[in-house]
Amino acid sequence: MSTVSVYPLVSIITINYNQAKATGDFLASVQKITYPSTEIIVIDNASPEPGFNNLKESFPNVLFIQNHVNKGFAGGNNIGVAAAKGEYLLFINNDTEVEQDFLQPLVDCMRSEASIGMVSPKIKYYFNKGLIQYAGGTRINPFTGRGKFMGSGQPDSNLYHQSYPTALIHGAAMLVSRELIRKAGLMYEPFFLYYEELDWCERAKRAGFTLYYCGKSVVYHKVSFSTGKSSALKVYYLTRNRLLFARRNYTGPQLLTSVLFFAVITVPKNTIFYILNGEYHLLKAFVKGFWWHICGNPSHQKHVPEPKKTNNTILIAE
């Protein structure tokens, strides 16, 4: 007779790109956790800056994977899935640090109901640990293409200590079941950066899974550590992927409403804002992100990689 493990294996997956110091701090933090059954996987997305090899020497018990090209957040994490052996997979940013007991509540929440497929912890600002960044989220608004994080910028309180269903998990820290990956697939790689976890949420819900926020688990996030608060890279992908999310998840009137709002409201508003602030490099990135769709780029790849199990490892079919 098979038995259910008290401590199912959790694969902790994080991505490094030019942030070896931050990744080292994260690894030092996560190795102190009390949960007894984990494996740690670090994917380097072809970082041009040195320092990654030093991590290998400092953390010999960690599996390091070095990509030859930068595959972005979605593609890098999908590489981690291919190497992972855990029943649950924790995708967590390298610009985070964790409480020692943060993982057990996430696993307990995941196992509390059969339908739960994704769980995110309470996320606080690392540099102001009394303030919340995420305590659950509302659904993406078809007009604006944006959702809202509950508790964002608020002091922590008893209100956020509970666990409850949520429309959105947070990509900085999300525990995902292997079953969800089997049924809903992997993260959609063409997003590259931003919105990929939100798209994953929608696919998970369509596959019959529920999403949860776990208030008993705490992670501290060094926000915008990798891309900066107002970088051209960030503006480009947020613009491009906001519309890509709509194209992939809305149809009919909802899709038309989303596209019209962006064209009639967002484009003029952002254009004027960047010009008045003299941020022409950001305006260029914004236009480039919008133009990506004008050029006819598809919202669905012709072949979506499917995970397949071989010798206890999930491999991504080419």
Nearest to 189 by CA among 91, 74, 298: 74
Distance CA 201, CA 170 (A): 10
Q: Are residues 166 and 284 in the same domain?
A: no
State pTM to two decimals. 0.88
Domain final residue pick, 171, 201, 227: 227
Q: Which domain holds residue 252?
A: 232-294
Cα of 47 vs its chain's centroid, Å? 19
Instruction: Judge whether residue 311 has pLDDT over 50.
Output: no
Bridge partners of 261, per DSSP, are: none
CATH of the domain at 153: 3.90.550.10
220 and 237 share one domain? no
Mean pLDDT calculated for residue range 56-79: 93
Q: What is the pLDDT of residues 206-217, one digit of tens each?
A: 999 999 999 999
In this structure, the answer to whether residues 180 and 250 fall within a common structural domain is no
- Over residues 190-211, the pLDDT tens digits come to 999 999 999 999 999 999 999 9
Phi, psi of 48 (to 5 degrees): -75, -20
Q: What is the DSSP string of 48-68?
A: SSS-HHHHHHH-TTSEEEE-S
- Which residue is it, tokens 């990506």? 292
Band (304; pLDDT cuts 50, 70, 90): very low
Task: Tell me how many domains the chain contains.
Answer: 2
* pLDDT tens sequence across 19-28: 999 999 999 9
